Amino acid sequence: MSKEIATPMAGKVVSILVNEGDTIQEDDEILLLEAMKMETTVYATDGGKVKKINIKSGDRIEEDDIVMILE
């Protein structure tokens, strides 16, 4: 079963801290977002193997966008 990870806030993707195929755990750092001229770390809300990453560095994302899918 796949699980979706959504962003909690809008911003610009500074860097993606995991790769497809990585296994991550809940609360691992997965993204660096820039919002209000500040970098914010986004933590995983769930654990699993990263199946697909839907974003790339420099993308502008909105709140609740699905950024990666875990399996």
Give residues in contact with another protein (CB under 8 A).
8-9, 27, 35-38, 40-41, 43, 45, 63-64
CB atoms near residue 71 (< 10 Å): 11
Measured between alpha carbons, how far is 35 from 65 in angstroms, rounded to an integer?
15
CB of 43 to another protein, least distance (A): 5
CB 25, CB 43: distance < 8 Å: no
For the bound state, the minimum distance from the C-beta of residue 10 to another protein, rounded and expressed in Å, comes to: 8
Of 42 and 50, which CB lies nearer to another protein in the complex structure?
42
Q: Least Å distance between CB 56 and another protein?
A: 22
Select from 41, 38, 42 the least CA-distant residue to 5. 42
